[in-house]
Structure 1
Amino acid sequence: MEFLTLLLVREARRLGLAGQPPHLAPSEALLALGRLTLQELIAQGALPDPEPDIDCWAAPRHPGH
């Protein structure tokens, strides 16, 4: 299994979603899984970051650092 799939499977199990029909799953658990999914897709570059942190790349590093 690839990393993202494994991560999502583990989180779904931790949230008690394994073996449960999606339409009967608690909304809080689905929301948590959805957030993790979006965070990972953004982190892997599959989706654009809606809040990019450009400060760390906006200026070259000072030679003294």
Structure 2
Amino acid sequence: MAKKLAQIDKAVCVACGSCVKVCPRKAISIWQGLYAIVDENRCIGCGICAKECPASIISIERLEVGA
């Protein structure tokens, strides 16, 4: 079984907060003003954050989860 999850390139993220504002599950937050992080337990991989990111550094990955 696979789960979709947002992945953020922390090396490039400038913590603009665009993704935080649009996440319907409130799964993204800004860590110490440096970059965005994803709460894997809340993220449903909808992709809204990836579409909103002005730097296009958010991707939606498929992760395999145990049976």
Q: TM-score, normalised by structure 1?
A: 0.22
Query: Normalized per residue, which structure has more strand?
Result: 2
Query: Normalized per residue, which structure has more helix?
Result: 1
Q: TM-score, normalised by structure 2?
A: 0.21
